[in-house]
Structure 1
Amino acid sequence: MKILLAEDDFVTRKYMANFLSKYGSCDVTVDGMEAVDAFMLALEEGEPYDLVCLDIMMPVMDGYQALMGIRNLEKGKNIPEDKRVKVIMATALNEEKNVKMAFDLGCTIYSGKPIDQAKFEQALKKIGLIDEK
């Protein structure tokens, strides 16, 4: 699996990159703009990501803006909805309005922080990115 992680907090970034690396190659960015650029480059190279994990509160471009950019790139390439990248939004913002906005913009799963590895793995199984064991 090819994974893109966008996380501005150093400790969380290291933790998540280490955790996600057991499922495949994990590219890491520190803000939403870098994430959108990396996503675009992967699409252009014909090697799209299978999973994008976005923090919501990031500098330069937040996770919501990055998600909009990613979904717009997919629309521009005429990628059917069922073939679009799975996006997990991760944040400490668990208020209903934030969750609703993320899903309205096209996220697949919304995960609260701190990340619970067992729940995160269940989410990956639910969306078909890792096999049930």
Structure 2
Amino acid sequence: MDIIIVDDELVARKKLTEILKQFGDCHEFPEGNSAITYFGNMLRDKKKIGLITLDISMPSASGITVLHRLRVLERISGIIPTQQTPILMVTANTDKSKVNKALSLGCTDYILKPFDEVTILARLKKHNIIH
């Protein structure tokens, strides 16, 4: 499985990669625009991404904006909602309006930082991303 990890914090990206690398190839991005481009290229090439982790607070484009653009790319590519890529928001942001916005835009789940391996794996199992 290919996994996209988007977070402007290097430590968070590396920690997620360390946890998730046992399940597939992790592709790290420090900002959202390059991740959107990569995801679009993967869709164009008919390659499946198994998971995206996405921070909300990033400098060039917020995680909410990135989430919206990823879901638009999927719709344009003909992907129906039940086949969408799982997207976990992994963030320190506890603003309820942002949580609700992310959920309304189709994020799969919302995990608060600081996170640990047990929490990440439990959420992946809950959503049948891993077994």
TM range (shorter): over 0.9
What are the equivalent positions in structure 2 for 1:54-69 lying under 5 Å apart? 54-69=54-69
Structure 1 CA distance, aligned partners of 2:62 and 2:97?
16
Structure 2 CA distance, aligned partners of 1:122 and 1:8?
24
Structure 2 CA distance, aligned partners of 1:16 and 1:116?
9
Structure 2 CA distance, aligned partners of 1:108 and 1:74?
15
Identity of aligned residues (%): 32
TM-score by length of 1: 0.94
**Structure 1 stretches of 4+ moved >2 Å:** none
**What is residue 70 of structure 1 aligned with on the other side?**
70
RMSD of Structure 2 on Structure 1 (CA): 0.9
Give CA-to-partner distance per residue, 1:74-130, whole Å, 9 cap, x none: 110111110010000011112321211110111000000011211111110011111
Alignment of 1:26 with 2:20, yes or no, is no
Provide structure 1 residue ranges, at least 5 long, that are not aligned to the other structure: none
Structure 2 CA distance, aligned partners of 1:19 and 1:72?
28
Alignment of 1:94 with 2:99, yes or no, is no
Task: Determine helix, strand or coil for the equivalent of 1:98.
Answer: helix
8 Å CA contact 1:57–1:63 kept in 2: the answer is yes
Structure 2 CA distance, aligned partners of 1:117 and 1:19?
6
**What is residue 36 of structure 1 aligned with on the other side?**
36
TM-score by length of 2: 0.96
Give CA-to-partner distance per residue, 1:10-69, whole Å, 9 cap, x none: 111111111111111111111011111111011111112111000111121111111011
**What is residue 16 of structure 1 aligned with on the other side?**
16
Alignment of 1:82 with 2:82, yes or no, is yes
